Copies of this chain bind each other. A is one copy, B any other.
Amino acid sequence: MLKNDLFLKALKGETVQRPPVWMMRQAGRYLPEFIELRDKYDFFTRCQTPELAAEITVQPIRRIAPDAAILFSDILVVPQAMGIEVLMKENIGPFIPNPIRSMADVQRVYVPDIQESLGYVMDAIKLTKEMLNDEVPLIGFAGSPWTIFCYAVEGRGSKSFDMAKGFCFSNPVAAHTLLQKITDTTILYLKEKVKAGVDAVQIFDSWGGMLSPVDYQEFSWKYINQIVEALADLTPVIVFGKGCWFALGEMGKSRASALGVDWTCSARNARYLSGGNITLQGNFDPSRLLSPIPTIKKMVHEMIDEFGKDKYVVNLGHGILPNIPVDHAKAFIDAVKEYGQ
């Protein structure tokens, strides 16, 4: 039994004393203890070594004490497991030397054996669960098929992923074939994570907001929803679509347990657009953690007032930035714990 089950209660829509809080990328570069490990081990070593991934996962639990842990990993371990070479380049970020640009490329991509290719993630989950000692729940995650597709086709990060979109619009059959392979892999992957012990999963659709509402349904939501359907009976599923305010209506009718929203969508708009019944998660502007601490605390309390304390998980609207002082991050978490006291 979890000692702190606030997060799972909020995902079920149960009444809580105060909303739970965690932060996207809470295991990350704003923490000096993370930087220490980062300087010793390269990116994929950190992901692929269960002891390192588990240690990094629990670092923020010790330091700032959020109500949930999220396994340290990366969304790009999935395309890597599918036979797409992924590098992490200094100052560039993810880099795919041979991006997918044709049906022939798509056909070389395969749905892998998860234990064989991603067993290290399951080992990290088991180890993390031991280290967490039932203090807080553990979240597992995956990128949305569309977001993985964006990297696989574009070959690197982009402001607008025009190449990935161009591939969809000029070669839709190949695009859908690749999206389905990513979806099939992701379903198998997340099911294994649940078996290994995660208490909930989150799907990150970081680049869904690049698509029009109609194209979003066709190239992103359709596939996310397959994952939601496949997982909903096994674990709570959170869908976070950055910039996807326009799709909250459709998402709200799905079997997802909660929807993440970014800071451009006010609480009022998010409740209205999502139908008002589903748990929402978000949406503090990560840059706003650069405000003075009293401002942060005031804004967090206003945010909770606006979303309401129930059916709500406090979070940032995207990942925490590397340049946030640790005491500002802690003030964010503390502000939630102080709410209503």
Inside 8 A of A91's CB, which chain B residues have their CB? Answer: none
Does A113 have its Cβ within 8 Å of any Cβ on chain B?
no
Does A294 have its Cβ within 8 Å of any Cβ on chain B?
no
Q: How far is the CA of A66 from the CA of B294 in the complex (A)?
A: 53
CB distance from A174 to the nearest CB of B (A): 14
CB distance from A184 to the nearest CB of B (A): 26
A303-335 contact mask (Cβ, 8 Å, vs B): 1 or 0:
000000000000001100101000000000000
CB distance from A120 to the nearest CB of B (A): 30
Does A169 have its Cβ within 8 Å of any Cβ on chain B?
yes
**A263 partner, pick from B170, B212, B292, beta carbons under 8 A:** B212
CB distance from A293 to the nearest CB of B (A): 12
| Oligomer copy total | 2
CB distance from A183 to the nearest CB of B (A): 22
Inside 8 A of A50's CB, which chain B residues have their CB? Answer: none
Q: How far is the CA of A269 from the CA of B265 in the complex (A)?
A: 14
Inside 8 A of A209's CB, which chain B residues have their CB? Answer: 264
Inside 8 A of A212's CB, which chain B residues have their CB? Answer: 263-264, 266, 285, 288, 317
Inside 8 A of A165's CB, which chain B residues have their CB? Answer: 285, 287-288, 290
**A157 partner, pick from B159, B269, B288, beta carbons under 8 A:** B159
Q: Which interface residue of A159, A211, A290 has the most chain B CB atoms within 10 A?
A: A290
Q: Given A159-B159, A246-B265, A170–B321 Cβ distance below 8 Å?
A: no
Which 7 A/B pairs are nearest by Cβ-Cβ distance? A165-B287, A212-B263, A166-B290, A169-B291, A169-B290, A170-B290, A212-B285
A-B contact sample (9 more), CB < 8 A, given A165-B287, A165-B288, A211-B285: A157-B159, A159-B159, A160-B287, A165-B285, A165-B290, A169-B287, A212-B288, A243-B264, A245-B246
Point out residues on A near B: beta carbons under 8 Å: 157, 159-160, 162, 165-166, 169-170, 209, 211-213, 215, 243, 245-246, 263-266, 269, 285-288, 290-292, 295, 317-318, 321, 323
